């Protein structure tokens, strides 16, 4: 994909305060988002772009060989959408350490004052992302060094206790970007703070997936960064809002430009049939298990937008009843 087109996409989305970002894998993710009135610093670093606030930061790199893949998925009640910034599987690999490992100063930190902080790789062994904590307190760094060489999930490792006590920055890095989270880590029974935060979920990590099974990506492409443009019926905190036609139109244009052409064509066919008052027709999986999910998303979007159709209810009854678990997003 043309790096200039990628850079233009990144510039536009980074400057939209309602766009969220993430770097991670299935079971371990760092998310970046900001409030519309929150102070932010934008910078250019060659082919890369960054945005940093007092709560966290994101850097994305428009490298040759990467591509954007837009997609939608049904959720329990509505739908989700995203644009994945991907590399071929053979090019996306990171260090894949499986034990806690001290790396040294974070010389690539987004803020100059953080570059003396010591990175410790958590050793999650993920394909496309290295997950670090960055510790600036010498005493906390010394305490964590005692657990280097073991899995942070081992029964005899006290690494997680040290990390929870120290509340270090979390830094998730892929070949195409990094997210840094400066906010405190919530307690095990606490709620993630609004704004930038991380999740590390051992049960999901055990699946060994690079992304959720509900995200329709070609088998040889791996997401290294995710971008979440404004959603038509959800605000940045996931709360319901009235249908926003502008946000819907903008993402549909992204889907047409960066999505799977066959699924986009199927979606257009379903919408045309519903708008014309046509009865439901059979949608063959045709080797693509996401085709029915595509129809479900189209129908939910029509319903959310308030369109008038004599047969929309029949379509919903045919394709949006008894939703299977694997068709909902995690």
Q: Please indicate, yes or no, whether residues 176 and 273 belong to a single structural domain of this protein.
A: no
Most distant CA pair in the chain: distance in Å? 69
Q: Please indicate, yes or no, whether residues 93 and 150 belong to a single structural domain of this protein.
A: yes
In a domain, 105, yes or no: yes
In a domain, 75, yes or no: yes
In a domain, 154, yes or no: yes
The domain in which residue 290 lies consists of: 260-327
pLDDT digits (tens, 9 = 90+) for 288-306: 889 999 999 999 999 999 9
Strand-strand pairing, 56-61 and 48-52: antiparallel
Q: What is the mean pLDDT of the chain?
A: 94
Domain end: 186, 212, 228, which one? 228
CA nearest 229: which of 43, 23, 22, 4?
A: 22
Q: Please indicate, yes or no, whether residues 145 and 275 belong to a single structural domain of this protein.
A: no
Burial class of residue 242 in the structure, from the number of CB atoms within 10 Å of its CB (0-12 exposed, 13-18 middle, 19+ buried): exposed
Three-state secondary-structure class, residue 139: helix
Q: Please indicate, yes or no, whether residues 177 and 105 belong to a single structural domain of this protein.
A: yes
pLDDT digits (tens, 9 = 90+) for 18-69: 999 999 999 999 999 999 999 999 999 889 999 999 999 999 999 999 999 9
Asked if the model's pLDDT at residue 206 lies above 50, the reply is yes
pLDDT of res. 329:
33
In a domain, 243, yes or no: no
- Count Cβ atoms below 10 Å from residue 260 Cβ, excluding itself: 20
Mean pLDDT of 89-106: 98
Number of domains in the chain: 2
Q: Please indicate, yes or no, whether residues 32 and 145 belong to a single structural domain of this protein.
A: yes
Tell me the C-alpha distance between 318 and 312, whole Å.
10
Q: Please indicate, yes or no, whether residues 109 and 218 belong to a single structural domain of this protein.
A: yes
CA nearest 305: which of 240, 244, 235?
A: 244
The pTM assigned to this predicted structure is: 0.94
In a domain, 206, yes or no: yes
């Amino acid at each position: 994909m043309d790096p200039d087109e990628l850079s233009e996409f990144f510039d536009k989305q980074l400057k939209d305060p309602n766009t969220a970002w993430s770097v991670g894998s299935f079971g371990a993710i760092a998310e970046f988002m900001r409030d519309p009135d929150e102070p932010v610093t934008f910078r250019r670093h060659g082919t890369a772009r960054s945005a940093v606030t007092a709560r966290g930061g994101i850097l994305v790199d428009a490298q040759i060989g990467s591509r954007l893949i837009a997609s939608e998925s049904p959720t329990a009640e509505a739908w989700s959408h995203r644009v994945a910034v991907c590399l071929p599987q053979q090019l996306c690999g990171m260090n894949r350490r499986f034990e806690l490992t001290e790396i040294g100063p974070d010389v690539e930190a987004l803020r100059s004052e953080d570059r003396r902080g010591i990175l410790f790789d958590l050793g999650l062994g993920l394909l496309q992302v290295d997950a670090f904590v960055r510790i600036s307190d010498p005493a906390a760094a010394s305490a964590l060094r005692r657990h280097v060489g073991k899995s942070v999930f081992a029964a005899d490792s006290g690494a997680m206790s040290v990390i929870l006590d120290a509340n270090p920055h979390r830094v998730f890095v892929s070949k195409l970007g990094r997210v840094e989270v400066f906010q405190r880590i919530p307690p095990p029974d606490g709620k993630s703070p609004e704004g930038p935060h991380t999740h590390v979920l051992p049960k999901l990590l055990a699946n060994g997936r690079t992304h959720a099974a509900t995200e329709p990506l070609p088998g040889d492409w791996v997401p290294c960064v995710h971008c979440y443009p404004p959603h038509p019926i959800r605000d940045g905190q996931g709360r319901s809002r009235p249908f926003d036609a502008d946000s819907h139109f903008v993402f549909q244009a992204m889907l047409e430009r960066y999505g799977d052409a066959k699924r986009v064509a199927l979606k257009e066919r379903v919408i045309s049939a519903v708008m014309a008052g046509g009865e439901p027709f059979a949608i063959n999986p045709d080797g693509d298990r996401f085709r029915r999910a595509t129809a479900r998303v189209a129908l939910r979007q029509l319903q959310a937008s308030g369109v008038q159709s004599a047969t929309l209810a029949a379509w919903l009854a045919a394709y949006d009843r008894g939703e299977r678990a694997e068709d909902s997003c995690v």
